[in-house]
């Protein structure tokens, strides 16, 4: 069936990218697959980026864990985007590094006229000089900072005034330096409780024609939503005391709905789903009679020290 011109102008690609190496935690692969299964069904174009599941002999190269895998997966995602040339992109990840290709693609497609809402507890502007996980490099790369090969793969760098942090509540000294260098704006969880006006006012002032929403699930409060790395059952009670208060699910839903009602959202990426119960259940099933290996003693790996 031939699509009409309006449909053709609004082609959406749903990209499943179960990358885990950027956050060096294999359960992000499972988390992405579950996100894809849970998401509403759609007639949109659907593609999956092939992701290596090799966990052996992975090296830190040029300050980045599994750099070769992450770089290849980035280029594979970029090739899929180029092949379909969508107007809108939904990304289901995986660690935050999955956002590099779609944001780079959309920022070039719309000639830099894209506001980026970084809905995340963390600023993700670390570099290989101070952190090995590429998931925390991604926004720095889009701004032109960090690994030269990754930066060179971004056809049009993101301008700092295009970025607004939403729900930011935790950052390192190194990240604060980059944030100050680029004068990046932020809205705290407390500012979101009453209404969405801080974000809507910022968007109105920027007056960009398009919006990309990066939604790291760790922006949600672990007291309400526990499929997060920080909500490790082994240390959950301790983290309840230590973790700063984050946003409720209903607050984030309201914010994103308000944005979409007032602006043209061309991208949504959802990342870092760490499904602890499913991870432990998967591990159990792998070790049961008739289903798995009854001699298997070790659990599937995750990085508890991240």
pLDDT in tens, the chain (306 residues): 344 445 556 899 999 999 999 999 999 999 999 999 999 999 999 999 999 998 888 999 999 999 999 999 999 999 999 999 999 999 999 999 999 999 999 999 999 999 999 999 999 999 999 999 999 999 999 999 999 999 999 999 999 999 999 999 999 999 999 999 999 999 999 999 999 999 999 999 999 999 999 999 999 999 999 999 999 999 999 999 999 899 999 999 999 999 999 999 999 999 999 999 999 999 999 999 999 999 988 776 665 443
Chain centroid, CA 117 distance in Å: 12
Q: Say if CB 14 and CB 67 are below 8 A apart.
A: no
Contacts of 104 (CB under 8 A, 6+ apart): 78, 142, 153, 154, 155, 156
Tally Cβ neighbours within 10 Å of residue 298. Answer: 8
Question: Measured between alpha carbons, how far is 167 from 164 in angstroms, rounded to an integer?
Answer: 10
Distance CA 32, CA 216 (A): 12
pLDDT of 301? 63
Residue 200 lies in a domain: yes
CA distances from 24 to 21, 45, 221, 230, 300 (A): 4, 29, 22, 14, 13
Full residue range of the structural domain in which residue 118 is found? 13-285
pLDDT at 151: 98
What total number of domains does the chain contain? Answer: 1
pLDDT at 4: 47
Query: Per the domain annotation, does 81 fall within a domain?
Result: yes
CA distance 109 to 155: 10
Does residue 301 lie within any of the structural domains? Answer: no
CATH no. for residue 74? 3.40.800.10
Residue at 158 is within a domain: yes
For residue 297, being part of any structural domain is answered with: no
Q: How far is CA 79 from CA 18, 22, 105, in A?
A: 16, 19, 10
In a domain, 1, yes or no: no
Indicate whether 219 belongs to any domain. Answer: yes
Flag whether 212 is in a domain: yes
What confidence score (pLDDT) does residue 300 get? 66
């Amino acid at each position: 069936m031939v699509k009409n011109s309006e449909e053709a102008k609004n082609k959406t690609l749903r990209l499943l990218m179960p990358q885990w190496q950027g956050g060096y935690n294999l359960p992000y692969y499972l988390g992405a697959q579950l996100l894809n299964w849970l998401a509403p069904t759609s007639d949109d174009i659907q593609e999956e980026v092939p992701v290596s599941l090799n966990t052996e002999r992975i090296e830190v190269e040029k300050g980045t864990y599994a750099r070769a895998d992450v770089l290849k997966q980035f280029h594979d995602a970029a090739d899929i985007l180029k092949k379909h040339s969508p107007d809108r992109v939904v990304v289901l990840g995986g660690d935050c590094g999955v956002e590099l290709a779609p944001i780079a693609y959309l920022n070039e497609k719309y000639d830099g006229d894209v506001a980026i809402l970084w809905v995340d507890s963390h600023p993700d502007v670390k570099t290989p000089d101070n952190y090995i996980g590429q998931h925390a490099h991604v926004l720095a790369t889009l701004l032109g900072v960090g690994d030269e090969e990754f930066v060179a793969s971004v056809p049009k760098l993101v301008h700092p005034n295009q970025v607004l942090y939403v729900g930011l509540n935790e950052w390192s000294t190194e990240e604060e330096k980059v944030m100050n260098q680029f004068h990046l704006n932020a809205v705290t969880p407390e500012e979101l409780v009453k209404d969405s006006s801080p974000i809507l006012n910022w968007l109105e002032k920027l007056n960009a024609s398009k919006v990309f929403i990066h939604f790291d699930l760790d922006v949600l409060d672990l007291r309400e939503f526990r499929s997060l790395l920080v909500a490790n059952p082994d240390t959950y009670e301790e983290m309840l005391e230590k973790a700063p208060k984050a946003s409720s699910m209903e607050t984030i839903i309201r914010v994103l709905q308000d944005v979409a009602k007032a602006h043209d959202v061309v991208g949504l990426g959802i990342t870092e789903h760490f499904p602890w119960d499913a991870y432990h259940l998967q591990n159990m099933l792998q070790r049961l009679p008739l289903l798995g290996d009854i001699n298997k003693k070790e659990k599937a790996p995750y990085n508890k020290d991240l």
